[in-house]
Homo-oligomer: A and B are copies of this chain.
Amino acid sequence: MSDAKHNIDVERLRRHYATMGLIRAFEDAAEQAAREGKVTGAVHSSVGQEAIAVGVCANLRQDDQITTTHRGHGHSIAKGTDPAKMMRELFGRAGGTSGGKGGSMHIADFSVGMLGANGVVAAGIPIAVGAAHGAKLLGNGRVVACFFGDGATNRGPFLEGLNWAKVFTLPVLFVCEDNAFASTTRTKAVTAGDGPAARARAIGLHAADIDGNDVALVDATVAELVARLRAGDGPMFLNCRTYRLRGHTAADAAAYRDASEVEARWQHDPMKLTAEQLQRLGVAESHLAGLRQAATVRVAQALAEAAAAPYPARATAFTDVQDVGAPA
């Protein structure tokens, strides 16, 4: 059985829903842990944006690669990172994805092609472009998806990176998560012109501009774009309209926007939309509740494990610095 509109099969959509639920559960737990002081660094939740991560990464092979941002838990999970390892990272513990050295803003998991989150807005763009440049030089057929926010489109590397990718005909999919905010500022208030896709087109990229809360739509659109990447057509651009349902960080109450605005946006929550779609396709709500429950349990377990895990050995503060000239 499949949804006519996007020709998506129900099993695929069900898997998307399960992964989105896992991301949602992870974000909720991470935010809570941050508020309780158990996670000592900043946590940027991607609640409301799960469909993008899942719809994009569903079209990537394990050895394809992604770069992400400060708001990267969802992308990591969608690409295949073990949430338990990532939670240990947030807790700064041994066995975390980066051995506790990076925390939430520097999640990376090279084993699944997750080349790293970034604490500097837009800094992942040139890195993704370079990874694609490397893939082309090595001829390994990999493609790279580069996630960034709408706020990042006002930084220079956005222009430079897109131009570079086009000039060198690189297999990069640029994915803008157009969530209406850049920290406490409405992105529109500081952004001129017709948006990210228009900017990309002016640099010669093919660009799609879609509802990023519709996971089937994201999936279908990306399938096409990635096929073009693999065919050697050069970089592709995808703008995903969405909304940041939480504060900028776990510490941000986001009082700069009306409760009513946020409530209205919850009606467009991708988890809700996907559940409705699955129900229309005949999947029972009880089954969906089971998926959500499984995610909650898995994350609760990850949380408990992380809280119980030991801190890294102090000597690791000086490992992985550099081969010559590291502190003794």
Contact = CB atoms under 8 A, between A and B. Distances in A.
Contacts of A154: 159-160, 163
Interface string A163-194: 10011000000000000000000000111111
Nearest to A189: B167
A203 B167 CA distance: 21
Most chain B CB neighbours (cut-off 10 Å) among A189, A192, A193, A199: A192
A198 B191 contact: no
Interface string A194-222: 10001101111100000000000000000
- Give the copy number: 2
Given A167-B192, A202-B202, A156 B162 contact: no
B156 A160 contact: yes
Contacts of A198: 202
A15 to B, nearest CB: 36
Contacts of A162: 192
A155 interface: yes
Contacts of A160: 154-156
Contacts of A193: 163, 166, 201-205
A166 B189 CA distance: 11
A158 interface: yes
Contacts of A312: none
A234 to B, nearest CB: 9
Contacts of A159: 154-156, 158-159, 199
A80 interface: no
Contacts of A130: none
Contacts of A95: none
A157 interface: yes
Contacts of A155: 156, 159-160
A45 B198 CA distance: 36
Interface of A: 154-160, 162-163, 166-167, 189-194, 198-199, 201-205
